[in-house]
């Protein structure tokens, strides 16, 4: 009987996989980026085997020395990164897989990769926050309309608007940090499903790899991808925030708004219309958010029907993870650079904010201070607005005629902003406090 070619699991089989199966099941083309983490996990595992008396000091020294000198050149004939690393070790590494399955090995590698990548995301988030704070600080006194339903609502400081995104990104950072905390537990020693009969030094290995501890259920350890889903969810939410910022920038840079001018290096032209200057970078960031959503849904869908424990479906977790990580970090970095090269058109912002209707609510508040119930005041001001539109008489003039000359003072936009001096409001004083706070936090 013909024997199967040598494989990690070949003893059970009389023939190797068909070529089409090899092509369909390989993962080395994308999981090779786990290479440094597989090396790190293997070094720690080797030390753990030595601590347990399974490897001699001489053996572990040889394995570690060889692991540290392996060159990152994947062999496509071997299906995954783990087999590439093991094969590169040669005869000295034949004992390395003792007490370890690729199930707990890949779970460890992904956790190590994710922990490192979250560091990159947090750095990129901080960089974008600094760009927003810098732009806000340079334009701290610029007044613009705030919008609800994309209709002019009330006046705000442009800096207040920009700092809203800094707050969103801060929540994104805490989500990633929280994800890293839950991911930072070692599954090594869980084996394929049921641990090992060998006395493995799990806690020692976990400490070697910088984990906070070890998983407490071997079945959960090899089948858990919650940490991957959390990362993808955090990336999708962050992408949503970037998309909203991108939409504001697209609107503000249009001729209809004209609030900002994006640097030429961060825009593109038209192949037909020579006058065009398109905010393609912002549009692409907005578009790439759909990819982040898709990656999250792909992994959630892949996991939703899996029985315990490991199933090969779970190989499909890596490409969405890597794609989201790359997409998000690129989007964060390019947005930060674009904002550093954006100019605010103060005159256009303040002309738009000079619309007296933006202070209609302030007139209602003025009447409330005189003792009128708010609903009655709301109705009275609404009637004045309607009369102003019919008669084309400015609202401040009608207000003075109806409620006395003092009512007209309500329509001083600087005075109105200064009056908004409660925590979280857009008065110059409160915005100054927030700018100072964020500059300190983002040093």
Q: Is the pLDDT of residue 6 over 50?
A: no
**C-alpha neighbours within 13 Å on the C-beta side of residue 419:** 15
Which of these ranges, 92-96, 181-185, 256-260, 349-353, has the smallest mean pLDDT? Answer: 92-96
Look-up of token digits 């209602």: 364
The tokens for 5 are: 């070619």
The tokens for 95 are: 């004992």
Of the candidates 249, 197, 189, the residue with the CA atom closest to the CA atom of residue 213: 189
Q: Pinpoint the alpha helices (H) of 26-140.
A: 28-31, 35-51, 57-69, 81-89, 102-138
**Which residue in the list 76, 123, 141, 270 is annotated as catalytic?**
270
- Biggest CA pair distance of the chain: 106
Q: SS3 of 147, please?
A: strand
Indicate if 270 belongs to the active site: yes
For 105-124, what is the mean pLDDT? 98
Strand partners for 157:
143
Of the candidates 279, 283, 344, the residue with the CA atom closest to the CA atom of residue 144: 344
Residue 3 pLDDT level (bands cut at 50, 70, 90): very low
Q: What Å distances lie between residue 292 and 26, 107, 238, 269, 331, CA to CA? A: 24, 22, 9, 27, 11
Which of these ranges, 7-11, 20-24, 69-73, has the smallest mean pLDDT? Answer: 7-11
Question: What size, in residues, is the chain?
Answer: 443
Look-up of token digits 């207000």: 399
φ/ψ of residue 303, rounded to 5: -85, -25
**Which residue in the list 149, 160, 241, 331 is annotated as catalytic?**
149
Q: Is the pLDDT of residue 94 over 90?
A: no
Residue 8 pLDDT level (bands cut at 50, 70, 90): low
pTM of the model: 0.94
Residue 9 pLDDT level (bands cut at 50, 70, 90): low
Indicate if 149 belongs to the active site: yes
Per-residue burial over 343-360, b if 16 or more Cβ lie within 10 Å, else e, is ebbeebbbebbeebbbbb
Q: Tell me: the pLDDT tens digits for 125-157?
A: 999 999 999 999 999 999 999 999 999 999 999
The tokens for 320 are: 């969405």
Q: Tell me: the pLDDT tens digits for 377-422?
A: 999 999 999 999 999 999 999 999 999 999 999 999 999 999 999 9
CB 385, CB 360: distance < 8 Å: yes
Determine the Cα–Cα distance for residues 281 and 82; give it in Å rounded to an integer: 38
The tokens for 54 are: 């399974």
Please tell me the predicted confidence (pLDDT) of residue 292. 98
CB 66, CB 96: distance < 8 Å: no
CB 107, CB 187: distance < 8 Å: yes
Of the candidates 247, 109, 114, 237, the residue with the CA atom closest to the CA atom of residue 173: 237
Please tell me the predicted confidence (pLDDT) of residue 166. 98
**Which structural domains are found in the chain, ordered by start?**
18-98 (1.10.275.10), 103-351 (1.20.200.10), 352-441 (1.10.40)
């Amino acid at each position: 009987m013909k024997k199967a070619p040598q494989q990690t699991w070949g003893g059970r089989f009389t023939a190797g996989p068909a070529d089409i199966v090899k092509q369909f099941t390989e993962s080395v083309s994308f999981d090779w980026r786990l290479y440094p983490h597989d090396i790190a996990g293997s070094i720690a595992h080797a030390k753990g085997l030595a601590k347990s008396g399974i490897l001699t000091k001489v053996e572990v020294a040889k394995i570690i020395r060889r692991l540290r000198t392996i060159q990152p050149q994947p062999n496509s004939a071997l299906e995954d990164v783990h087999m590439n690393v093991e094969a590169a070790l040669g005869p000295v590494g034949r004992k390395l897989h003792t007490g370890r399955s690729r199930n707990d090995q890949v779970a460890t590698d992904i956790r190590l990769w994710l922990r490192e990548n979250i560091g990159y995301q947090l750095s990129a988030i901080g960089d974008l926050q600094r760009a927003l704070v810098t732009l806000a600080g340079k334009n701290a006194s610029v007044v613009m309309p705030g919008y609800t339903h994309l209709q002019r609502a009330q006046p705000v400081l442009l800096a207040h608007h920009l700092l809203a995104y800094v707050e969103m990104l801060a929540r994104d950072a805490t989500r990633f940090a929280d994800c890293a905390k839950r991911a930072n537990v070692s599954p090594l020693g869980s084996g394929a499903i049921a641990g090992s009969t060998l006395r493995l030094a799990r806690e020692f290995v976990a400490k070697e790899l910088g984990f906070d501890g070890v998983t407490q259920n071997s079945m959960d350890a090899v089948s858990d991808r919650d940490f991957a889903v959390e990362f993808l969810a955090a990336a999708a939410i962050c992408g949503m925030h970037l998309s909203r910022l991108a939409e504001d920038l697209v609107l503000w840079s249009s001729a209809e708004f004209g609030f900002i001018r994006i640097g030429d290096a961060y825009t593109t032209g038209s192949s037909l219309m020579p006058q065009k200057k398109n905010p393609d970078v912002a549009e692409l960031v907005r578009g790439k958010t759909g990819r982040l959503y898709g990656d999250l849904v792909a992994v959630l869908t892949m996991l939703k029907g899996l029985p315990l424990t490991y199933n090969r479906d779970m190989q499909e977790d890596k490409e969405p993870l890597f794609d989201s990580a790359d997409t998000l970090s690129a989007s964060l970095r390019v947005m930060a650079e674009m904002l550093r090269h954006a100019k605010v058109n103060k005159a256009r912002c303040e002309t738009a904010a000079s619309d007296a209707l933006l202070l209609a609510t302030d007139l209602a508040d003025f009447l409330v201070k005189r003792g009128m119930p708010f609903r009655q005041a709301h109705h009275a001001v609404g009637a004045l607005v309607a009369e102003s539109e019919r008669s084309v008489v400015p609202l401040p003039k009608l207000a003075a005629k109806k409620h006395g000359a003092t009512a007209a003072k309500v329509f001083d936009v600087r005075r109105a902003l200064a009056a908004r001096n409660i925590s979280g409001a857009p008065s110059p004083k409160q915005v100054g406090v927030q700018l100072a706070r964020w500059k300190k936090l983002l040093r």
